[in-house]
């Protein structure tokens, strides 16, 4: 049920960018995207209808009952769906030109300059009373080619115009940058991303300078160049992303690629000796082609009652593709509805000394703070035969483990105040961890051999369109409750809520409208989130809505966490 929702949003973005599309533009929208369930096959087929490549009718339903549509007019965004909320916490200013920016910076020296807003709001999650937005479309022409804060897509367009103007021989740097940009994430992200200030070159050199090294472009040059790079390149351990050895080897690979590219051009232009086949393989470009497929339909002799092979539209398809489908957060607000936001651990492994919530509770709009002591039933339950706490009481064992929740009148208040709850913890030290586990130094001294290794594994996260959440509504009799929840296992949610509240499961009636994506993740953790929200409902006797933000969702749910392991083992033969 998730895919029509995603398709509707992608369709609007695709059509709005250019009403006259072709297959190459279509493909650029899918670079960097992967869907394990469908591979975007049917979404690509739907987008092809905008590219005028069909030779047969693609209609799968009758158009007789559809409202008339003028093909020369674009559908407007429904005015009743436009939302505007004044923000009392932040002032957002966009200067008109460089002079205006300098004046603003002098008046507000502590105001940050925002472009992509990734570091401040997403990584650091800091709130400034005033921010200055560097708008690349109206601001800051620096006299070279680009405006400050321009997106990677704008940079790509400028480079393409430069290639066309300068020709293939004088625009090789531009060509290399364009090729690099095509390998960097997807078009949607390039539309918003900008080059970081740390990527700026700190050296100034003459543009017409030329130095003859008097070296022959051969294997000797490759060997000497590689040796010099190995000696001169130094990547500090504090470099972003770590993995200094990998970054160092990456520079050597780029040098080898440059060597082979120049060698190939010399071979083609001056007839140098043939290149080794293994060198040519490194220059093979990565090509993206528009996927091709065939749709097979049953012949007309098939019985009208036979569904096999027929392109039948599923029951909710029209509601989902027209935006009429209702998801849990589309449900209208219940009278007296409250909102919750989770307070999570920022430590990998620590003991909880105290939880200081009075300051947060004194904030306007905050109703209460929920922790383990507020659970009327069981705070601990078995999860795959392993005990799990709903709220951490004495100890946290991972980042993102839930310690408590803030219940407030609005979603924004709950989120802001949850970050103000003071959790006092004490670390488990390495000495405590290895105490009573033998003498490591003595073991290595007596060993015949020592084996060392390094293992690096990247992380994976589930990224569905709709984040996890629910609405828990009390029914006012014997603890009865109705959660409207986005769950792939409503019976499990019902069981967990009943155990947590200490009431029979038959008094919990779970309603599942539909899911905006799940990938199997909306089973276990949504049960815990439902129990937490239900506890807030039980304590306040009011309906409570919980909608996780994207960062909290990825922090709270399961995933494959990245990590680097350095191991050293000793053994005796």
Contacts of 538 (CB under 8 A, 6+ apart): 376, 474, 479, 481, 501
Q: Is 480 exposed, middle or buried (0-12, 13-18, 19+ CB in 10 A)?
A: middle
pLDDT surpassing 90 at residue 402: yes
What gap in Å lies between CA 159 and CA 169, rounded to an integer? 14
Dihedral in degrees, nearest 10, Cα atoms 202, 207, 209, 215: 80
Span 468-481, pLDDT tens digits: 999 999 997 888 99
Q: Is 29 helix (H, G, I), strand (E, B) or coil?
A: coil
Mean pLDDT of all residues in 266-283: 73
Report the Cα–Cα distance between both ends of the chain, in Å, rounded. Answer: 59
Is the pLDDT at 462 greater than 80, yes or no? no
Confidence grade of residue 550 (pLDDT, cut at 50, 70, 90): confident
C-alpha span between 217 and 222 (Å, rounded): 8
Residue 358's SS3 state is: helix
Inform me whether the pLDDT recorded for 165 exceeds 70: yes
Q: Which of 47-51, 157-161, 181-185 has the highest mean pLDDT?
A: 157-161
Task: State the pLDDT confidence band at 352, using cuts at 50, 70 and 90.
Answer: very high
Over residues 80-105, the pLDDT tens digits come to 777 777 777 788 888 888 788 889 98
- Is 499 or 313 the better-scoring residue by pLDDT? 499
Domains of the chain: 7-81 (no CATH), 91-198 (3.30.43.10), 219-282 (no CATH), 328-431+461-560 (3.30.365.10)
* pLDDT value at 367 more than 70: yes
CA distances from 248 to 223, 232, 251, 387, 484 (A): 16, 10, 5, 44, 52
Q: pLDDT value at position 341? A: 94
Contacts of 408 (CB under 8 A, 6+ apart): 338, 339, 340, 341, 365, 366, 367, 414, 417
Give the C-alpha separation, 155 to 114, whole Å.
18
Q: What is the pTM of this model?
A: 0.64
More confident residue, 120 or 132: 132
> Over pLDDT 90: what percentage of the chain?
21
Q: In Å, how far are 232, 328, 435, 471 from 513, measured between CA atoms?
A: 61, 7, 52, 12
Residue 127 is predicted with a pLDDT of: 73
144 pLDDT exceeds 50?
no
Model pLDDT for residues 67-78, shown as the tens digit of each residue: 777 777 777 777
Q: Where are the alpha helices (DSSP H) in 111-243?
A: 152-166, 172-182, 187-192, 219-232
Mean model confidence pLDDT for the chain: 79
Report d(CA 272, CA 264) in Å as an integer: 9
Contact indicator for 448, 573 with CB cutoff of 8 Å: yes
């Amino acid at each position: 049920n998730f895919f029509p929702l995603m398709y509707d949003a992608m369709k609007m973005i695709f059509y709005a960018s250019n009403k006259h599309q072709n297959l190459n533009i279509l493909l650029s929208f899918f670079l960097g995207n992967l869907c394990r369930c469908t591979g975007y096959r049917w979404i690509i087929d739907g987008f092809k209808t905008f590219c005028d490549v069909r030779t047969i009718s693609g209609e799968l339903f009758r158009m007789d009952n559809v409202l008339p549509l003028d093909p020369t007019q674009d559908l407007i965004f429904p005015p009743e769906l436009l939302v505007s909320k004044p923000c009392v916490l932040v002032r957002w200013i966009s200067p008109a030109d460089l002079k205006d920016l300098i004046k603003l910076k002098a008046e507000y020296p502590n105001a940050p300059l925002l472009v992509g807003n990734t570091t401040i709001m997403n990584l650091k999650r800091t709130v400034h009373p005033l921010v200055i937005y560097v708008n690349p479309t109206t601001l800051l022409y620096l006299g070279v080619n680009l405006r400050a804060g321009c997106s990677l897509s704008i940079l790509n367009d400028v480079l393409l115009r430069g290639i066309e103007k300068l020709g293939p021989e004088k625009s090789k740097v531009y060509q290399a940058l364009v090729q690099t940009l095509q390998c960097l994430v997807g078009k949607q992200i390039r539309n918003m991303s900008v080059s970081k200030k740390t990527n700026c070159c700190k050296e100034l050199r003459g543009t017409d300078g030329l130095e003859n090294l008097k070296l022959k472009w051969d294997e000797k040059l490759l060997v000497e160049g590689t040796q010099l790079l190995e000696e001169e390149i130094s990547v500090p351990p504090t470099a972003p992303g770590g993995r200094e050895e990998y970054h160092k080897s990456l520079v050597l690979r780029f040098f080898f690629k440059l060597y082979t590219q120049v060698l190939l051009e010399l071979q083609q232009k001056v007839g140098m000796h043939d290149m080794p086949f293994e060198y040519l393989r490194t220059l093979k470009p990565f090509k993206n082609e528009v996927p091709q497929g065939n749709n097979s339909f049953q012949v007309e002799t098939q019985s009208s009652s036979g569904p096999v092979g027929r392109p039948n539209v599923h029951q909710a398809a029209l509601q989902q593709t027209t935006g009429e489908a209702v998801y849990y957060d589309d449900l209208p607000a219940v009278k007296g509805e409250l909102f919750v936001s989770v307070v999570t651990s920022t430590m990998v492994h620590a003991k909880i000394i105290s939880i200081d919530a009075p300051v947060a509770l004194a904030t306007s709009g905050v109703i209460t703070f929920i922790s383990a002591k507020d659970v009327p039933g069981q705070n601990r339950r078995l999860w795959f035969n392993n005990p799990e706490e709903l709220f951490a009481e004495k100890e946290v064992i991972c980042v993102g483990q839930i310690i408590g929740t803030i219940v407030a009148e609005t979603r924004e208040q709950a989120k802001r105040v949850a970050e103000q709850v003071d959790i006092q913890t004490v670390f488990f030290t390495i000495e405590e961890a290895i105490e009573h586990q033998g003498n490591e130094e003595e073991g290595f001294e007596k060993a015949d051999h020592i084996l060392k290794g390094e293992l690096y594994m990247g992380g994976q996260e589930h990224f569905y369109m709709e984040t996890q959440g629910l609405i828990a509504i009390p029914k006012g009799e014997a603890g009865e409750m109705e959660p409207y929840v986005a769950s792939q296992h409503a019976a499990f949610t019902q069981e967990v809520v009943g155990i947590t509240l200490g009431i029979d499961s038959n008094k919990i009636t779970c309603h599942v409208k539909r899911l905006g994506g799940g990938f199997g993740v909306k089973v276990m953790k949504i049960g815990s989130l439902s129990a937490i929200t239900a506890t807030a409902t039980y304590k306040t006797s009011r309906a409570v809505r919980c909608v996780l933000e994207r960062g909290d969702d990825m922090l709270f749910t399961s995933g494959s966490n990245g990590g680097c392991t350095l191991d050293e083992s000793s053994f005796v033969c």
